[in-house]
Amino acid sequence: MATHKHIAGLILRHRRNVLNEQEQQELEAWCNLCEENRLLFERLNKQDAVTGHLLHLYSTAIDEGGMVRQLFPDQRKKRLKNVLIYTAIVTGLLFVGISMYTVRHKKGEIKIVSVDSIKNASKDQAPIEHRVVLKLADESLVYLDSNVNGHIALQYRSVINKRGDLVRYEWSTGNAQQELGYNTITTPKTKKFTLELPDGSKVWLNASSSITFPTAFIHKERIVQLTGEAYFEVNPRPAMLGSESEKKPFIVYAKSPNSNGTGAAVEVMGTHFNVNAYGDDPIIRTTLLEGKVKVSTQFYPVFETGVAMDPEQTNTAQQAVQSVFLTPGQQAQVNGDGQLELVQYADIQEVMAWHKDLFIFNDLDIKLIMQQIARQYDYEFFFKEPVGGHYTLTITRQTPLHQVLRALEMSGGVHFELDGRLISVSE
């Protein structure tokens, strides 16, 4: 990860004109990520970054006897000056540019990296479960729902850059780590986020979703793992190694926590599709909008190391793999028992409503409706008594909750009561 210390070291080496080619490219990439980085580099690169009084202050110390003495002789002042320049650069990165700080939890040694600015850090105290979080390869956590844009980190062969509600992984020749790493982005209830993967493919994550992916697609297949819901636009010919282009299958492994260990594999080359694999519904739904995909009833869990598990190593009961090829407008459904069903004519408008910030319920079961409402507004719900019925409603997701519930009540047959963040449902 590109820490203050690492960037400061690069700037100091630049001042001394001793950067190698890889370091020069890494520093240039950091400067070019955003205007703030470039201006900060110019400011810190000035010769007056360390003042005379700082030099004097740091050249004295108190010895064991309590007397003030010279810590560095004159012949070491040049070396000391470099140390102080380095210190000033780190200080500048901390207080002038985008703030990135690390906190270690004494028991779990969890590192949290925030891209919040210093002036806003004290105002943003939302619990982690209510924030959009990026988990880096070294277990560091980056809060992505900050208003600050620009450089986030360096990972294996990737520079991570944030712009609003989009995080983009861009090719880099500089490595912050020697081995391939795996990152995870998790969204809470009420929030969506957009990701551009290292191959140029785009992913829109719905609320309460999570995606795990490598920081570079260097293997024969491009594999990601999903829980929740996401819409994918896959790049058919990803740029590799900065210039090369190679066709590689893109595979999404999806698993619902309520699916009894089963899951689905969605294999594509270049296409647009939506995958829904939420934990409150054991059915995994893959809906194709454009191109062609193959959906199979298999799931390879990804370890923390990012290595895909061989299906023979799983403890779940092995059964024959079912598969189907989808054409646009079709939907594949994998239920909790690993059975595959093909829906010839899916309701594309209803499936993609979340992507357009809409609720579109077309004769939809009340339980499925409440699942969507609970995720959007961060509420829990329960049925006071058995409630049936299907409802039809189209309304923006920015509509206040009480208005959405009122609109459903006007359809008849259902009643809602709010108690704190709990919704009770009855006839």
DSSP string covering 20-39: -HHHHHHHHHHHHT-HHHHH
DSSP-derived 3-state class of residue 318: coil
| Rounded Cα–Cα distance for residues 132 and 43 (Å) | 32
Question: Exposed (0-12), middle (13-18) or buried (19+): which is 155, by Cβ within 10 Å?
Answer: buried
CA dihedral 13, 15, 19, 23 (to 10 degrees): 70
Residue 187 · residue 193 · CB < 8 Å: yes
| Residue 24, pLDDT score | 78
Residue 3, pLDDT score: 53
| Structural domain ending residue among the three candidates 63, 95, 127 | 95
Helices then strands, counting H and E runs in the chain, come out as 9, 29
State the CATH number of the domain containing residue 230.
2.60.120.1440
Identify whether residues 192 and 46 lie together within a single domain: no
What pLDDT was estimated at residue 16? Answer: 76
Residues 193 and 159 in one domain: yes
For residue 353, what are its two tokens? Answer: 């409503």
pLDDT digits (tens, 9 = 90+) for 182-199: 999 999 999 999 999 988
Q: Radius of gyration over alpha carbons of the chain, in Å? A: 26
30-52 confidence digits (pLDDT tens):
776 665 677 777 767 664 544 33
Query: Count of CB atoms within 10 A of residue 228's CB?
Result: 21
Identify whether residues 176 and 206 lie together within a single domain.
yes
Instruction: Kindly state whether residues 46 and 142 are assigned to the same domain.
Output: no
pLDDT the model gives residue 117: 36
**In tens digits, what is the pLDDT along the chain, a chain of 427 residues?**
445 567 777 777 787 788 887 777 777 777 766 656 777 777 676 645 443 333 333 333 333 333 333 333 344 444 545 555 555 555 555 444 433 333 333 334 444 444 443 333 334 455 667 899 999 988 888 888 877 788 888 888 788 888 888 999 987 765 555 678 899 999 999 999 999 998 899 999 999 999 999 988 888 889 999 999 999 999 887 765 444 556 788 999 998 766 666 788 999 878 999 999 998 888 999 999 999 999 998 876 664 444 444 444 443 444 688 999 999 999 999 988 888 999 999 999 999 999 999 999 999 999 999 999 999 999 999 998 888 889 999 999 999 999 999 999 998 889 999 999 999 999 8
H or E element in which residue 169 lies:
strand 166-171
Asked if residue 112 and residue 228 are part of one domain, the reply reads yes
Count of domains for the chain: 3
Residues 169 and 296 in one domain: yes
Measured between alpha carbons, how far is 216 from 213 in angstroms, rounded to an integer?
8
Q: Are residues 210 and 250 in the same domain?
A: yes
Global pTM?
A: 0.70
Local structure of residue 305 (DSSP, 8 states): T
- What single-letter amino acid sits at 303? F
378 alpha-carbon distance from chain centroid:
20
How many other C-beta atoms are found inside a 10 Å radius of the C-beta of residue 314? 14
- Vertex 19: Cα angle to 92 and 244 (nearest 5): 105
Residues 114 and 218 in one domain: yes
Residues 276 and 389 in one domain: no
Q: Which of 314, 349, 384 is the last residue of a domain?
A: 349
What integer pLDDT is reported at residue 90 of this predicted model?
52
CB atoms within 10 A of CB 219: 11
**For residues 180 and 174, what is the distance between their CA atoms, to the nearest angstrom?**
13
Judgement on whether residues 126 and 8 belong to the same structural domain of the protein: no
Residue range of the domain that includes 389: 357-426
Q: At what angle do helices 4-15 and 77-95 cross, to 10 degrees?
A: 130
Residues 11 and 53 in one domain: yes
One domain for residues 91 and 108: no
